[in-house]
Amino acid sequence: MEIRDLMYLEASATAGNFTRAAKSLGINTSTVSRRVGRFEDEVGLALFERGHAGVHLTSGGKAVLPHIRRALAELDAIRQAGAQSGNGLVGEVRLAVRMPPVGEPLHSLLADWHQRHRDVTLTIFEMNESEIQTAIGERRIDVALMTRHTLWPDAVTAPVYRERVLAALPRGHPLARRRTVNWDCLRRETFLVQGWDNSQSAREFYASFIGCGVKFQSHAASKQSVLALVAAGVGITLVTKSQSEVMFPGIVYRPVCEDDAWVEVELLWFPGAEDPAVGRFVAFMRDEARSRELF
């Protein structure tokens, strides 16, 4: 018994004639008649009554036909599922982020991706760069959004966007009265940064702007926790433009008017990734970033 036998049987039952069934299938009438007869012999049941006017289902044929049609429908569903998965139209993309994906332009990019790929689940993981490197190597995540200064040498990446750097200040801070700030006026402040034993990239990034003689305090905490300390007057910190779009009690944001006050964000992925959905996501982010001139 083969799948095509079921197709011949269903076509014959629908057409009521082996000749018309053969024509609809694009094969010879003799092939249909022979395969149907072989199938009847195999199951030990006459499925059709044959006559000059055509063929008609026997009572046994009527009992078998619904099962044949269900089997063919399941086969079609399998083919469709395979085609969708092979084209990346269904599946999951596991995305790690160094910074929460808030604000523009990332908000619009992810919204457009979801609109076009509703059957692909996008799962977010917040990690520091050391955790991301390990997770990529162990295939626990598929792609990551990381700032350029946190990338390791052999990382496979594509630029996505860049955004301005702002200073986050306590509401009552003297610098909060200014419209803008610069590195010179910030160097006397205590900078609060995210930092872990295996990762001090934020401190190194800040130092690349304002020098190593600045007082830093590292906190193994989320950006929200660091901002809570800023609001309490413990120190100041730097944020991206998108992060500043999220209102935080007791915080004011001031643009840093310096030519180098930018953060560049890149998309990183495992070079051997074969999942079609992941490939679609990488291509989408890369192509949209280029067309929107985000970097």
**pLDDT tens track for 164-184:** 999 999 999 999 999 999 999
pLDDT value at position 209?
Answer: 86
**pLDDT tens track for 230-239:** 999 999 999 9
Q: What is the largest CA-CA distance in the chain?
A: 102
pLDDT value at position 43?
Answer: 87
Domains annotated on the chain, with CATH: 3-86 (1.10.10.10), 91-161+263-291 (3.40.190.10), 163-260 (3.40.190.10)
pLDDT value at position 85?
Answer: 54
> Using H for helix, E for strand and C for coil, what is the string for the chain?
CCHHHHHHHHHHHHHCCHHHHHHHHCCCHHHHHHHHHHHHHHHCCCCEEEECCEEEECHHHHHHHHHHHHHHHHHHHHHHHHHHHHCCCCEEEEEEECCCCCCCCHHHHHHHHHHHCCCEEEEEEECCHHHHHHHHHCCCCCEEEEEHHHCCCCCCEEEEEEEEEEEEEECCCHHHHCCCECHHHHCCCEEEEECECCECHHHHHHHHHHCCCCEEEEECCCHHHHHHHHHCCCCEEEEEHHHHCCCCCCEEEEEECCCCCEEEEEEEECCCCCCHHHHHHHHHHHHHHHHCCCC
* In contact, 137 and 107? CB cutoff 8 Å: no
pLDDT at residue 78 above 80?
no
pLDDT at residue 122 above 80?
yes
pLDDT band at residue 51 using 50, 70 and 90 as cut-offs:
confident
pLDDT value at position 89?
Answer: 66
- 41: its two tokens: 């012999």
pLDDT band at residue 105 using 50, 70 and 90 as cut-offs:
confident
CB atoms within 10 A of CB 162: 17
pLDDT value at position 82?
Answer: 60
pLDDT at residue 278 above 80?
yes
Phi, psi of 167 (to 5 degrees): -95, 130
pLDDT at residue 249 above 80?
yes
pLDDT band at residue 192 using 50, 70 and 90 as cut-offs:
very high
pLDDT value at position 185?
Answer: 94
Averaged pLDDT of the chain: 88
pLDDT value at position 87?
Answer: 58
Instruction: Please tell me the pTM assigned to this model.
Output: 0.66
List 218's β-bridge partners, or say none.
193
